[in-house]
């Protein structure tokens, strides 16, 4: 079946969202696995282990959904949606500075899980609307949403058990904080995209100048033929 | 202490060598981050090694980085500049990613442990490969070293002669962008597999190809050895890796070979286009074999040497080693267990040790299992996971091995997570999935159900040297390579091994000769009276993930796959 221009744009948008979600889910699996390894309390280790396992399964589900939708697409489009594990860092789903458990206090980490699982569920609701035409994918995402809600409940339970001084409204505040953070993050990225458009000609000009300058650079000077490699200065960057 | 670092380009890693010239520990960042091919600054690996060995910054003498960062940053830029304005996007991308390049190592070290950056020195990239390979050789004098990779500092392949450990002279180099490694990666990309990850798949697929097919011939014309200039000639108009961020090949290659493979369509041997892609893979594999032979012949003409070290990413191409060993002048060919960039951290660390000691000293051969770990580290932590999901069948090492052997005899698949981890990408028993190598059903289950690998990829066999000699054409030149599963070998003509499920379609197998006293050796001793002398051995992971490093990783693999048994340092576990 040939897609019209509008349908093609819509399909590309769905593929982009599935591709991003796939990376996000794999990132979550790794975050939870890291949390499992970084904690010592029995229940918490077990809980994070199970959570990581669920996220790995979600990743697999999204891989399958993406692959099914894309296998009949033109190869040049399909190539752009390949999943590579290091894409998780490049896309920012795992921070270059470390996993959340390595950078946050345990309490903040639990609060993060508590709020983000709920936010994830909401974004899955949006995906559901996009793929409602495919019953199998629809059901798979519904199952994932149930898992997200369960994870949210578990984080809440843990929170209230180990931090009894915190009241439910504290959790609401955490949720609000994360929601605002997510919104500002989105604004930040939109802003970056906008700045990209403005500055692209400048970057290109600088790269062009740099490129022509580099043509003058004689790198043959640094060739090593017949040189004892053990004698090359170890302080030199070249 | 001397710390070697490899990072920013391929899998990053840390190696630590002590003042006696011993490799104390080695750790890949991907083992800890669980991100396959993690190339970021190896902060977790460095932190772990410093913690478990109680290393204080005062006892760190030097930190050695595995390449010359400015060379490796500037030379691709200079080459791309020649294609301006077509390469403008590439230049913009590279310049904007300056802070993610290896030049940043100085700042990353400062961030990790202020002061450490002052001890940072840099080593020529191909020298770090050479030194890594040299460590696994008995003799450290009068050997020729051949390094072939994608790109390093300024060149893509080099020939050096090691007069002695302090005198390593470079004699020949192939300059970027003429690169055998990047050629193979481009074909990998064209075949729909991920670069730096799918090259094994191309190697496995090539066995199904026909060398005389039109597609194989077309691919073989893309890269050649020039007998006049004695160098690699690539038809660069078919490639874009040197001037494009998103495409490794140009439209011309698509016009030549037809549509590239859609990465999302599974590639099965009965598919319509399978043969075409297998033929392309065959063409690429034959090109690699042919050019490597030419490089070795040129090395012989330059050095007259009979002993060769071979390293760099292309040395991971185990299918080419057999034909190299057949060259009349090769008496010994050594490939280190981790010939790629991550292993170069080891050579870098030793560079610090060698250059800090004016008197030439012998360097000690590192173990095949240098990454320090013991399951007991995490036993207390995972008590609840084990009690809820597993059953400890045996907590005694001897009886655990006996039960494991019986299970293997009964067609079961066993995961192992024993003591230290392997250096390279190949699991050699301590982080393995094992089953009876002659049980077709078990091997198929291991390969396609547990590992979720493409059915055209073979599973490797592990055996003793005596067993190997009965079934395979073992080459004395490659004896060290067999220990780390680095080379394939052919089955003996008309031998039953041709029908073994661990033998590939082209009648070869990437065998592992087990080391004495290793876990595989112990298992094979028990299995022999039961009639099993060959184990199928694959790495303990799910396809696409790094090999398991610790106990929690292995429990996760058990939980996510049908794998039921796990042999650990504290006994044998069975999934409930």
Report mean pLDDT in 10-residue bins for chain B, 576 residues.
94 94 95 94 95 93 95 91 91 88 92 92 96 94 96 92 94 95 97 92 96 96 95 95 93 95 91 94 97 97 97 96 96 96 96 83 87 94 95 94 97 96 94 96 93 88 97 96 96 95 95 96 97 96 90 96 96 96
Distance from CA of A68 to the nearest CA of B (A): 8
Biggest CA–CA distance in chain A, Å, is 74
CATH homologous superfamily of A5-166: Ferritin, core subunit, four-helix bundle (1.20.1260.10)
Distance from CA of B500 to the nearest CA of A (A): 32
Alpha-carbon gap, residue A156 to A170, rounded angstroms:
11
- pLDDT value of position B444: 94
Is B376-575 the same fold as B175-334? no
| CB–CB contact A78 B78 (8 Å) | no
Distance from CA of A196 to the nearest CA of B (A): 12
Instruction: Tell me the CATH number for domain B376-575.
Output: 3.90.870.20
Give the residue from B190, B262, B454 with the most A CB atoms within 10 Å of its CB, the best one to mutate: B262
| CB–CB contact B170 A204 (8 Å) | no
The class (CATH top level) of B175-334 is: alpha beta
Alpha-carbon distances of A210 from A198, A216, B319, rounded to whole Å? 20, 10, 42
Both tokens of A112, joined, read 């993060």
Distance from CA of A169 to the nearest CA of B (A): 32
For chains A and B, count residue pairs whose Cβ atoms are closer than 8 Å.
Answer: 184
Kind of pairing, strands B307-311 and B143-152?
parallel
Which sequence spans correspond to the domains of chain A? 5-166, 198-222
- pLDDT value of position B59: 94
| CB–CB contact A203 B92 (8 Å) | yes
Both tokens of A15, joined, read 């593929």
Distance from CA of A165 to the nearest CA of B (A): 27
Instruction: From chain A, pick out residues whose CB is under 8 angstroms from the CB of B380.
Output: 40
| CB–CB contact B36 A85 (8 Å) | yes
Nearest residue of chain B to residue A67 (CA atoms): B264
The helix-helix angle for B344-356 and B125-135 (nearest 10°) equals: 90
- pLDDT value of position A2: 54
Alpha-carbon gap, residue A212 to A214, rounded angstroms:
5
pLDDT tens digits, one per residue of A81-127: 999 899 888 888 888 888 999 988 888 888 888 888 878 888 888 88
- pLDDT value of position B230: 94
Tell which residue, A70, A33, A36, has the closest CA to residue A55. A33
Q: Residue B424 carries which DSSP code?
A: S
- pLDDT value of position A60: 93
Give the residue from B40, B84, B92, B154 with the most A CB atoms within 10 Å of its CB, the best one to mutate: B92
Distance from CA of B479 to the nearest CA of A (A): 28
Instruction: From chain B, pick out residues whose CB is under 8 angstroms from the CB of A43.
Output: 384
| CB–CB contact A70 B122 (8 Å) | no
| CB–CB contact B169 A85 (8 Å) | no
| CB–CB contact A52 B172 (8 Å) | no
Both tokens of B110, joined, read 């400062």
- pLDDT value of position B360: 62
- pLDDT value of position A221: 66
Up-side HSE of residue B508: CA atoms within 13 Å toward CB?
20
Give the residue from A42, A66, A238 with the most B CB atoms within 10 Å of its CB, the best one to mutate: A238
Instruction: From chain A, pick out residues whose CB is under 8 angstroms from the CB of B172.
Output: 225
- pLDDT value of position A121: 81
Which sequence spans correspond to the domains of chain B? 2-66+68-122+341-356, 175-334, 376-575
| CB–CB contact B123 A235 (8 Å) | no
Q: Between B74, B158, B264, which is nearest A219 by CB?
A: B74
Alpha-carbon distances of B245 from A78, A225, B84, B239, B485, rounded to whole Å? 17, 31, 14, 12, 34
Instruction: From chain B, pick out residues whose CB is under 8 angstroms from the CB of A230.
Output: 127, 165-168, 354-355
Alpha-carbon gap, residue B109 to B117, rounded angstroms:
5
Tell which residue, B117, B15, B8, B72, has the closest CA to residue B352. B15
Least-confidence region, from A101-115, A159-173, A184-198, B124-138: A159-173
pLDDT tens digits, one per residue of B132-162: 999 999 988 999 999 999 998 889 999 999 9
Q: Which residues of B138-164 are buried (b: 16+ CB within 10 A; e: fewer)?
A: eeeeebbbbbbbbbbbbbbbbbbbbee
How large a percentage of chain A has pLDDT more than 90? 29
ipTM of the complex: 0.93
| pLDDT at A3 > cutoff 70 | no
CATH homologous superfamily of B2-66+68-122+341-356: ATPase, nucleotide binding domain (3.30.420.40)
What's the burial of A163, exposed, middle or buried (CB within 10 Å: 0-12/13-18/19+)?
middle
Instruction: From chain B, pick out residues whose CB is under 8 angstroms from the CB of A100.
Output: none
Give the end-to-end CA distance of chain A in Å, rounded to a whole number: 56
Alpha-carbon distances of B132 from A236, B23, B80, B211, rounded to whole Å? 21, 11, 31, 34
| CB–CB contact B40 A236 (8 Å) | no
Q: Between A53, A232, A234, which is nearest B556 by CB?
A: A53
Distance from CA of A94 to the nearest CA of B (A): 10
Distance from CA of A176 to the nearest CA of B (A): 30
| CB–CB contact A86 B35 (8 Å) | yes
Instruction: From chain B, pick out residues whose CB is under 8 angstroms from the CB of A71.
Output: 262, 264-265
| CB–CB contact B384 A45 (8 Å) | yes
> Locate tokens 């680095």: which residue?
B486
| pLDDT at A131 > cutoff 90 | no
| CB–CB contact B43 A98 (8 Å) | yes
């Amino acid at each position: 079946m040939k897609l019209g221009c509008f349908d093609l744009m819509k399909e590309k948008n769905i593929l982009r969202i599935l591709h991003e979600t796939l990376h996000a889910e794999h990132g979550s699996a790794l975050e939870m696995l890291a949390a499992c390894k970084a904690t010592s309390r029995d229940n918490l280790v077990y809980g994070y282990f199970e959570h990581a396992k669920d996220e790995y399964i979600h990743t697999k589900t999204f891989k399958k959904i993406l692959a099914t939708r894309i296998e009949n697409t033109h190869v040049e489009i399909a190539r752009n949606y390949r999943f590579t594990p290091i894409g998780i860092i490049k896309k920012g789903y795992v921070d270059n500075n470390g996993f959340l458990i390595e950078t946050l206090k345990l309490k903040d980490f639990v609060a993060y899980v508590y709020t983000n699982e709920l936010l994830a569920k909401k974004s899955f609701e949006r995906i559901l609307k996009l793929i409602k035409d495919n019953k199998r994918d629809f059901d798979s995402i519904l199952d994932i949403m149930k898992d997200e809600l369960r994870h949210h409940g578990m984080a809440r339970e843990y929170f209230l058990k180990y931090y009894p001084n915190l009241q439910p409204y504290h959790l609401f505040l955490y949720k609000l904080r994360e929601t605002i953070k997510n919104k500002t993050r989105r604004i930040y990225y939109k802003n970056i995209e906008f700045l990209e458009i403005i500055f692209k000609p400048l970057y290109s000009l600088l790269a062009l100048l740099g490129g022509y300058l580099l043509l003058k650079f004689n790198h043959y000077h640094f060739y090593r033929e017949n040189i004892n490699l053990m004698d090359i200065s170890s302080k030199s960057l070249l | 202490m001397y710390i070697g670092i490899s990072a920013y380009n391929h899998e990053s890693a840390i190696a630590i060598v002590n003042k006696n010239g011993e490799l104390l520990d080695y750790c890949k960042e991907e083992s800890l981050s669980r991100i396959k091919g993690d190339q970021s600054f190896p902060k977790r690996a460095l932190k772990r090694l410093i913690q478990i060995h109680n290393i204080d910054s005062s006892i760190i003498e030097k930190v050695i980085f595995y390449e010359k960062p400015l060379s490796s940053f500037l030379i691709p830029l200079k080459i791309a500049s020649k294609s301006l304005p077509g390469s403008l996007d590439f230049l913009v991308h590279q310049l904007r990613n300056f802070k993610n390049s290896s030049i940043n190592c100085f700042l990353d070290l400062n961030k990790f442990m202020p002061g450490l950056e002052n001890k940072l020195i840099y080593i020529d990239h191909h020298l770090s490969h050479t030194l890594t390979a040299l460590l696994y050789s008995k003799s450290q004098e009068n050997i020729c070293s051949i390094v072939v990779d994608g790109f390093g500092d300024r060149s893509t392949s080099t020939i050096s002669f090691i007069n002695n450990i302090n005198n390593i002279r470079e004699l020949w180099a192939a300059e970027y962008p003429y690169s055998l490694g990047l050629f193979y990666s481009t074909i990998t990309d064209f075949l729909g597999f991920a670069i730096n990850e799918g090259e094994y798949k191309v190697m496995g697929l090539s066995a199904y190809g026909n060398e005389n097919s039109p597609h194989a011939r077309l691919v073989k014309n893309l890269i050649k050895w020039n007998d006049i200039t004695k160098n690699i000639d690539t038809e660069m108009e078919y490639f874009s890796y040197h001037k494009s961020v998103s495409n490794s090949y140009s439209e011309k290659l698509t016009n030549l070979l037809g549509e590239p493979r859609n990465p999302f369509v599974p590639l099965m041997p009965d598919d319509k286009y399978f043969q075409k892609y297998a033929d392309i893979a065959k063409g690429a594999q034959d090109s690699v074999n042919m050019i490597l032979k030419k490089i070795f012949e040129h090395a012989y003409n330059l050095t007259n040497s009979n002993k060769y070290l071979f390293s760099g990413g292309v040395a991971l191409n185990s299918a080419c080693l057999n034909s190299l060993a057949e060259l009349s002048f090769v008496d010994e060919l050594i490939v280190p267990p981790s010939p790629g960039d991550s292993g170069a951290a080891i050579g870098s660390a030793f560079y610090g040790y060698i250059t800090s000691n004016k008197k030439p000293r012998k360097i000690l051969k590192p173990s095949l299992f240098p990454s320090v770990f013991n399951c007991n580290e995490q036993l207390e932590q995972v008590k609840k996971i084990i009690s809820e999901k597993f059953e400890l069948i045996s907590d005694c090492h001897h009886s655990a091995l006996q039960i494991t052997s019986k299970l293997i005899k009964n067609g079961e698949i066993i995961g192992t997570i024993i003591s230290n981890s392997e250096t390279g990408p190949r699991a050699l028993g301590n982080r393995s999935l094992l089953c009876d190598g002659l049980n077709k059903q078990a091997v198929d289950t291991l390969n396609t159900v547990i590992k979720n690998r493409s059915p055209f990829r073979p599973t490797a066999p592990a055996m003793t040297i005596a067993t190997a000699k009965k079934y395979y054409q073992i080459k004395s030149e490659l004896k060290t390579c067999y220990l780390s599963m680095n080379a394939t070998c052919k089955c003996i003509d008309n031998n039953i091994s041709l029908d073994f499920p661990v033998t590939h379609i082209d009648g070869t197998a990437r065998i592992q000769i087990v080391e004495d006293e290793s876990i595989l050796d112990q298992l094979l001793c028990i299995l022999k009276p039961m009639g099993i002398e060959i184990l199928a051995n694959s790495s303990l992971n799910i396809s696409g993930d790094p090999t398991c490093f610790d106990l929690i990783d292995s429990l996760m693999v058990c939980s996510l796959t049908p794998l039921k048994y796990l042999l650990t340092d504290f006994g044998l576990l069975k999934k409930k």
